[in-house]
Amino acid sequence: KDPDTYVLYVHQSGLGLPDESYYREDQHAEVRTQYTDHLARFIALTGVDARTGRDAQEIAQALMAFETSLAQRHWDVVETRDAQKTYNRMTPAEAAQTAGAFALGTWLEGVGAADAPHVIIGEPSFLSGLGEVWAQTPLEDLQAWAMLGTVQAFAPYVADEVLQANFDFYGRTLSGVPQVRDRWKRGVSLVESLLGEAVGRIYVEQEFPRSSKDAIAELVDSLIDAYDSSIRTLDWMGEETKGRALEKLRLFTPKVGYPDRWREYPAEIRADDLVGNVRRSAQAEHDRQIGRLGQPIDRTEWLMTPQTVNAYYHPVMNEIVFPAAILQPPFFDPEASDAQNLGAIGAVIGHEIGHGFDDQGSRYDGRGTLTDWWTEEDRARFDEQTRSLIDQFEVLVPRGLGPDDHVNGALTIGENIGDLGGLSIAWKALKARTAARGEEVTAEDGRVFFEAWARAWQTAMRDEERRRRLTVDPHSPEEFRCNQIVKNMDAFAEVYGTREGDGMWLAPEERVSIW
């Protein structure tokens, strides 16, 4: 609610499994057993048992019980998406009182934030629950838990047997990956994570011409214009809310390709000190973040590197950001037609703009303030449409998985709104750009457009990883990001002539059209 100043956020954590549901749902019972076994092996391998003078299996059981108690206090993945519920401003003294036996004041001193005038607590009931669990847990278990967490954090950078033991569970068991990536690939990922923009600067010089940046900027303008036209003609939104939505749209800040100013990385890097390099780099980044508390927001900063194949919308900044790496085939090709580019990168641009108006992004105004700028009637009509989309996705099961492995419609609703709005607006932009040339969109243009969307979401993924993502990922599986979204578009039915009984048919009265 203060989008101009850096503030400290405190969120729930402390779990070794991907999500709190892994500690309680029957479908994850086998994973819980495997996790406890993994803890015992890892404890023995790294000497935590010898350091504490306890049996490895005993420690593993104690830590599993501790994490299960924490998980019982965690908010679920749907609750933690709620922008209003997770914004709880407190003074450090108020937060420390909420935390009870967990010495939050001491922790704030340890991270260098003791002087912060206030903090934002994401999940207050977890913080108070943490205090309860902390008070009930023997000191020796807390020490073992902290020791193990430290060792696990450095597992990728020490002996191969430690790396392999950690990978056996987190890579093979949870995600189905058969083997550790090649050492050179892990090295590249490490350098990127520690020196991201330094690598990005080289990447941009080699792979991203200025002409591509200019072409994408033009596409962004076309998508914003299409959103503007669409908002003005919405039949479910009143004029008051439309005016505020258009104001927010006008205040969007696009960032394309790479930052105008590159970051500096002050940490000392030594060729013979891998773990030290990681520690010094992490400390430098920590100091940078803590040093900004209470300072004005740097609105030129990028939160992704240029070499990242992704994009994002930031509600507090009200910005849409498209790194250079996603501005390449199959998403963008400077030699391709409008239909192909708008069906791929155009829909991605529309998706990110759409996040400004999804179920959570719509709670921020054009200046990034968390505030309710909708009328009650318009919010109710919007919620009705989002519920229809939730119901559509809730019953979807990825190919090859069982009936229990269905999409969480409430978890994925924000991304589904983004996909549907993004592709719909990209289609409108295609029609507008084509009309500006004195032409009409042809059936062939339509096929190129929708097939570009399909190619963008072609994915190969192991079943274990698909199950994990169904639990924690706010994005729907790629097959539904493509197929379920297009079913909702009248244009798709017209281009391909789908009819009742076809696999890609959705009755007109069941289709959702929000933006």
Work out the pLDDT band at 496, boundaries 50, 70, 90: very high
Q: How far apart are the first and last CA of the chain?
A: 26
Residues 6+ apart with CB under 8 A from 53: none
- Of 162, 156, 164, the C-alpha closest to 185 is 156
pLDDT tens digits, residue range 344-398? 999 999 999 999 999 999 999 999 999 999 999 999 999 999 999 999 999 999 9
pLDDT tens digits, residue range 386-429? 999 999 999 999 999 999 999 999 999 999 999 999 999 999 99
CATH superfamily of 8-180: Neutral endopeptidase , domain2 (1.10.1380.10)
Query: What does pTM read for this prediction?
Result: 0.92
- Report the top-level CATH class of 209-260+300-510: alpha beta
Determine the Cα–Cα distance for residues 73 and 70; give it in Å rounded to an integer.
5
Work out the pLDDT band at 19, boundaries 50, 70, 90: very high
pLDDT tens digits, residue range 153-162? 999 999 999 9
Q: What is the mean pLDDT of residues 433-439?
A: 97
Determine the Cα–Cα distance for residues 41 and 151; give it in Å rounded to an integer.
13
What is the four-CA torsion angle of 446, 450, 451, 452, rounded to 10 degrees? Answer: 110
What mean pLDDT value characterizes the chain?
96
What's the pLDDT at 1? 84
- For CA atoms 86, 317, 452, 436, the dihedral sign is positive
- Residue boundaries of the structural domains of the chain: 8-180, 209-260+300-510
Residues 6+ apart with CB under 8 A from 483: 504
**b/e per residue, 231-248, with b = 16+ CB within 10 A?**
beebeebeeebeeebeeb
- Helix, strand, coil percentages (3-state) for the chain, rounded to 5, are 60, 5, 35
pLDDT tens digits, residue range 208-266? 999 999 999 999 999 999 999 999 999 999 999 999 999 999 999 999 999 999 999 99
Contact 54, 140 (CB under 8 A): yes
Work out the pLDDT band at 15, boundaries 50, 70, 90: very high
